[in-house]
Structure 1
Amino acid sequence: MSFSLQQIIRGMCWLLSDRQYGDICDKICSPNCKNVCSKINGFCDSGCIFGKFGADCLRSCGAGCLSGCHQNDGSCQCKTGWQGQNCDGCDLNHYGHDCSTKCSANCKRRTCNIDTGSCTYGCERGFYLEKCEQACSPTCPSACKRQSGECEGKCPVGKYGSYCNKTCSRTCNDGCSKIDGLCTSGCIDGKFGAACLQTCSDGCISGCHQFDGSCTCKTGWQGLHCDECTPNNYGEKCYQKCSSNCLNGTCLRNNGSCIGGCKGNFTGDTCTLGKIKRIFVTG
């Protein structure tokens, strides 16, 4: 029986070389084979070194494998934080390059993006930002907006602003507008204006109109806001009557001085002094 040159070379190769294979031993076995490889196809029939798998042991076990992996399909038991048949990805509750960082406890379902840690389903009530690491304002009545932290819904009575952290004027009757703090339910007695910061005139009988301060006047007062004395009254509270000796009965509000002069024989600023009569004596 005669052999071809190729057969002779193959036989010598197979006998003398442990790390080569092929018809003429022109191929190198995978360095990850535990021992020698098949002379026919180069497969690592004796298994792979630790951390490798596949027929030729060129694939690496998943980074999350607890202790090596199955030679054929790479399946393994996962470390904490990892998941998948090959333990090559983070589970829903961990993130980062080594899946060792837990998702924030403030994430709904404790679930986050495996790369960034951003909460997948949003935040638990009372928290905001991507990882829900910031607490909403304590004055928010419920939740707050994910990106800005601005309160959602109405503010508690007495508070206003995007974060419900501003206090309504105490002169508001029942809270104020969340947007600008203006009193939406009227003012307490004696106050008027959009923010109820202006005081009704002393001349009002009982409070005044919320928007313009107009009111019904007490005796001695006049004007839309009842903030002027009538022509016949004077003084801080307009309750003092001008002297009956004033011409036309009118006087200045601040001191009662008669505006048009005095009647008859009276004199003085308030026309309360009588004129001195001169007596002529004849000799």
Structure 2
Amino acid sequence: MTSLSQLVLLPKYSELPGFVGMDPVAVHHRDEMMRYMCLDSFMMASMPMLAEMCVRLICSISAIMHDKALHCQCDPQGSISSVCEKVGGQCQCKSNVIGQRCNQCAPDYYGFGPNGCSPCSCNPEGSILSMCDQTTGQCQCRSGARGRQCDACHPQHWGFPNCRPCQCNGHSEECDPQTGTCVNCRDNTCGHHCERCSDGYYGDPVLGSGAQCRPCPCPDYPGGDNYHGVSCHADLDSNQIVCYCNTGYSGSRCDKCAPGYYGNPQVAGGKCWPCRCNNNIDVTDPGSCHPHTGQCLKCLYNTDGDHCEACKAGYYGNPLLRDCR
């Protein structure tokens, strides 16, 4: 389909005052119009520059037809100045602005205003046309595409232009529109597809497994005063839950203090603290300090005392610097 951008009406000038009749002036005017082919220029798609004689003659015709000279009527927002062409009244338009009065955006541009017009920038893979709504800039999107420029997937989809649904194992509907990584995973899940349990939970959250993420009993549950674990897993051989403990805790349920620590993590609010032995024990030795009282039991470097704070009998020096001799 061909679109019509301009319609030019050419008057029969030989019947107008100043051109009609056989008086010498009228004959001269008609001869000049023919000689310079003044009206032929208006039949071309791209109008060439008119000869000065044509400009004078056509201005005369216009004044006769309208009984006066016409105002330019340049739109102050879209034109560079208020002055227009003598022939035709074309105003000088700002960037990407068109129209005789400079009052509309050119094709593929929108947002007519004081700064001219902005490019539509419709995404060629997501839009039907390069043109957009000249007011809002909204492009015409293909099926599956959205956004002003038709450059994004619909919600719950990712991977433009090959948009596909987010796959989050039923624990989220949202994912990153570029990478497909699920966001806001529910039900204590995490991972690219919400396919694993968050730290502090165990189970198999993959869609169709029939399982869910349960809190780790280490020995309390996540958020409790006696939760001393980082994460846990279900040991299929023993059918037991095995905890991964925070520093200072040990045992399959993180209910004991690790070597080099003391306390009672099984009571409400109970914690494990580093044994205070002035750096004079082997913290990897389970018997180096009492697990409940913290009393130092295996002082090294010739030190002695409940906290290995003194040189043992027969030695002198600075026990805090491991300098008993």
Same fold (TM over 0.5): no
Q: State the structure with more CA Rg.
A: 1
Q: Which has the higher helix share?
A: 2
Larger strand fraction of residues: 2
TM-score category, normalised to shorter length: 0.3 to 0.5
Question: TM-score of the superposition, structure 2-length normalised?
Answer: 0.31
